[in-house]
């Protein structure tokens, strides 16, 4: 009985099925595990069969375990990159029958008629999409949930490197141009939640017909087994076996109930309920939305509403050589301390959200079609420098690799920020200045600790080389804080290009950033 109870837990909770995208690609390994576990459990089941009540109770648990494990394997297979891409590609469209058309065309011409062809002009005009206004005032976020659900089939294409069609592009563009910044971020939060469920949980399986049937069978089998286990005589079995079986049965029931609660309180269910006009359904919606367990401890937030910050200069100041540095490195303590103390979180302010939304909206309006939108997405700062009339002087800084641009401008922002902070400049109080600092530190966090979220490159090597040069410089100058570090860096004569002195051996961008920061400050002086 213990073996079958264990087999019933192998499907795992619905809230997390794949711990990374690579798990979805390894579905064959889970299929092999299913076969081995099933074979082993079935062999033990046959060998231990004596016709006792406990043997009979093992049958529903065995079936429930097989369904749960099979459901997980099927989910992983369906969410692998190849299967996911195939599921999103629309059905083949051969278009009008060209051969038949040409036969009819030739026949009409042979009869003496003059035939002329007029090209069909496909317009990308989009029907006016009204701003989302909830049909029911007593249902919060109803319209946003419905719109997010409506646009999700288009949104998920972006995660499989598929291209939006022109009509989808214009429709979504028109929608975001008509809503506020707050509503736009809400829709994106819901969409990202849908994507997470699609890639990492069994939510998509649970909402299909067969998934609901499997869940009902598993829950009924587990509960019926638990009730029957309460009734049968257990005196012939050891106390340890009985206790472990109790724990496994209770754990299985708790997991199933928790999965159902998560299912009913998810955005998928909320979206479906918000479309219903029946009073009873509306009442159910309000009850569920008022006590949604997944967000109970996050004040009904779909995400942490914060962004991680990581500063190169701050990292270097923490890692300056000390008496115990070699000891820490020997026991691998240094790396743990680096990751813990070098990063911190900052709340995403309303101003930063509005700034991001307005800039994206401005770029979106300048993109007439998908081709222009792709060009804007590939832009690495040229659009901004050109707009500010700085391209001729600062253009060299964006003609390098992507990871180098991130580090270069991150250091420039830090140098200018701490310099203005030391001068108690009025510009340091500017919200745009703070927003630049936040975004810059977040991009470095992605580059260093989450490199898979950015294009391939040598960002980590470049970061390490820049840190090594900065630590050596700060140690020699006896630097104590960020302001002093920036002052000393800007005092270095950068008349000769660092590349000519160091060659291509080091990938450090420390003093290239100093050159760029001085150019920025000279532009500020010219404006004044």
Percent of the chain with pLDDT over 70: 82
pLDDT at 181 over 80: yes
* Cβ contacts of 13 within 8 Å, gap of 6 or more: 255, 258, 259
Cβ atoms of 407 and 469 closer than 8 Å: no
* CA distances (Å), origin 378, targets 163, 256, 439: 15, 46, 18
Pick the residue with more confidence: 279 or 299?
A: 279
Q: How far apart are CA 408 and CA 520, in angstroms?
A: 13
Q: Give the residue carrying structure tokens 């006896």.
A: 478
What distances in angstroms separate CA 458 from CA 84, 429, 465, 508, one per listed residue?
30, 35, 11, 11
Q: Tell me the C-alpha to C-alpha distance, in Å, between residue 104 and each of 97, 101, 112, 211, 309.
A: 11, 5, 13, 50, 68
**Average pLDDT over every residue of 171-194:** 88
Q: How far apart are CA 391 and CA 510, in angstroms?
A: 21
18: three-class secondary structure by DSSP: coil
Mean residue pLDDT of the chain comes to 79
Distance (Å, rounded) from C-alpha 3 to C-alpha 10? 11
Task: Determine the average pLDDT of the residues in 5-29.
Answer: 68
- Check: CB of residue 58 under 8 Å from CB of residue 248: no
From 245, 244, 255, select the one nearest 218 (Cα to Cα). 255
Contact 367, 166 (CB under 8 A): no
What pLDDT shows up at residue 466?
94
Quick: pLDDT tens for 463-497: 999 999 999 999 999 988 889 999 999 999 988 88
User: Percent of the chain scored above 90 by pLDDT?
Assistant: 15
Closest CA to 204 of 191, 195, 213: 195
Reading the block at residue 12, the tokens are 């795992």
Please say whether the beta carbons of 98 and 117 come within 8 A.
no
Most confident range (mean pLDDT) of 117-126, 268-277, 433-442 is 433-442
Q: Please, are residues 4 and 45 in contact by the beta-carbon 8 Å criterion?
A: yes
pLDDT(204) > 90: no
- CA-CA distance, 107 to 246, in Å (whole number)? 82
Q: What is the three-class DSSP state of 41?
A: helix
* pLDDT, tens digit, 9 for 90 and up, residues 219-248: 888 888 888 888 887 777 778 878 888 888
For helices 53-78 and 27-47, angle between their N-to-C axes, nearest 10 degrees: 170
| pLDDT of 124 strictly over 50 | no
Summarize the confidence of residues 410-429 as an average pLDDT. Answer: 81
**Quick count: other Cβ atoms within 10 Å of Cβ 523?**
15
Residue 428, number of CB atoms within 10 A of its CB:
17
What's the rounded mean pLDDT across residues 97-101? 84
- Kindly tell me if the per-residue pLDDT of 447 is higher than 80: yes
- Report the pLDDT value the prediction gives residue 526, as an integer from 0 to 100: 63
Output the pTM of the full model. 0.78
DSSP string, 300-337: T-SS-SEEEEE-HHHHHHHT---TTHHHHHHTTHHHHH
Tens-place pLDDT, residues 66-92 = 888 888 888 888 888 788 777 777 777
214 or 224, which is more confident: 224
- Rounded average pLDDT over 126-154: 66
Angle, in degrees to the nearest 10, between helices 459-477 and 402-423: 30
Q: How far is CA 399 from CA 55, 379, 402, 443, 512, in A?
A: 72, 11, 9, 18, 13
Least confident of 23-37, 181-195, 265-279, 323-337: 323-337
Q: Which of 99-103, 251-255, 278-282, 520-524 shows the lowest per-residue confidence on average (mean pLDDT)?
A: 278-282
Q: Is the pLDDT of residue 295 over 60?
A: no
CB distance 524 to 416 below 8 Å: no
For the stretch 300-344, pLDDT in tens is 567 788 899 999 998 898 888 766 556 555 555 555 555 555 678
Q: By CB neighbour count within 10 A (0-12 exposed, 13-18 middle, 19+ buried), where does 60 fall? A: buried
What pLDDT, in 10s, does the model give residues 419-428? 888 777 666 6
Residue 300 Rama label (left phi>0; alpha psi -120 to 50; beta): left
Whether 20 has a pLDDT exceeding 90, the answer reads no
pLDDT of residue 334: 54
């Amino acid at each position: 009985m213990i073996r079958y109870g264990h087999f019933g837990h192998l499907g795992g909770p619905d809230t997390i099925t794949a711990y990374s995208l690579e798990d979805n690609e390894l579905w064959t390994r889970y299929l092999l595990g299913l076969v081995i576990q099933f074979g082993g459990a079935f062999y033990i089941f046959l060998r231990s069969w004596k016709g006792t009540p406990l043997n009979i109770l093992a049958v529903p648990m065995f079936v429930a375990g097989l369904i749960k494990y099979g459901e997980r394997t099927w989910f992983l297979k369906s969410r692998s990159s190849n299967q996911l891409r195939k599921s999103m590609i629309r059905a083949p469209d051969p278009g009008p029958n060209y051969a038949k058309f040409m036969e009819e065309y030739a026949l009409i011409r042979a009869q003496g008629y003059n035939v002329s062809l007029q090209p069909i002009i496909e317009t990308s005009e989009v029907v006016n999409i009204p701003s989302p206004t909830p049909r029911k005032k007593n249902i919060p976020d109803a319209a946003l949930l419905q719109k997010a659900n409506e646009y999700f089939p288009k949104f998920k294409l972006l995660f499989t490197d598929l291209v939006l069609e022109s009509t989808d592009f214009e429709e979504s563009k028109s929608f975001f141009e008509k809503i506020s910044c707050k509503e736009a971020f809400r829709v994106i939060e819901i969409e990202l939640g849908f994507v997470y469920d699609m890639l990492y949980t069994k939510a998509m399986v649970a909402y299909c017909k067969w998934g609901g049937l499997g869940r009902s069978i598993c829950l009924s089998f587990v509960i019926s087994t638990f009730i029957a286990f309460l009734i049968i005589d257990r005196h012939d079995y050891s106390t340890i076996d009985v206790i472990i079986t109790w724990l496994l049965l209770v754990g299985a029931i708790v997991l199933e109930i928790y999965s159902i609660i998560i299912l009913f309180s998810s955005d998928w269910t909320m979206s479906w309920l918000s479309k219903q006009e029946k009073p009873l359904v509306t009442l159910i919606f309000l009850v569920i939305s008022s006590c949604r367990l997944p967000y109970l401890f996050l004040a009904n937030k779909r995400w942490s509403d914060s962004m991680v910050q990581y500063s190169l200069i701050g990292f270097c100041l923490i890692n300056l050589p000390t008496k115990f540095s070699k000891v820490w490195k020997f026991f691998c303590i240094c790396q743990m301390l680096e990751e813990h103390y070098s990063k911190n979180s900052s709340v995403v302010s309303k101003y930063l959200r509005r700034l991001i939304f307005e800039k994206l909206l401005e770029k979106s309006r300048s993109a007439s079609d998908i081709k222009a939108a792709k060009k804007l997405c590939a832009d690495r700062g040229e659009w901004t420098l050109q707009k500010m009339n700085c391209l001729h002087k600062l253009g060299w800084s964006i003609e390098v690799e992507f990871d180098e641009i991130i580090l270069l401008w991150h250091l420039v922002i830090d140098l200018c920020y701490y310099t203005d902070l030391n001068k108690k400049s009025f510009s340091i109080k500017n919200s745009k200045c703070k927003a630049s600092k936040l975004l810059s530190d977040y991009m470095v966090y992605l580059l260093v600790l989450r490199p898979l979220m950015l294009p391939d490159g040598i960002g980590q090597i470049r970061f390490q080389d820049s840190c090594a040069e900065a630590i050596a410089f700060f140690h020699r100058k006896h630097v104590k804080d960020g302001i002093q570090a920036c002052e000393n860096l800007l005092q270095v004569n950068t008349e000769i290009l660092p590349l000519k002195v160091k060659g291509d051996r080091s990938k450090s961008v420390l003093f290239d950033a100093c050159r760029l920061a001085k150019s920025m400050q000279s532009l500020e002086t010219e404006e004044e």
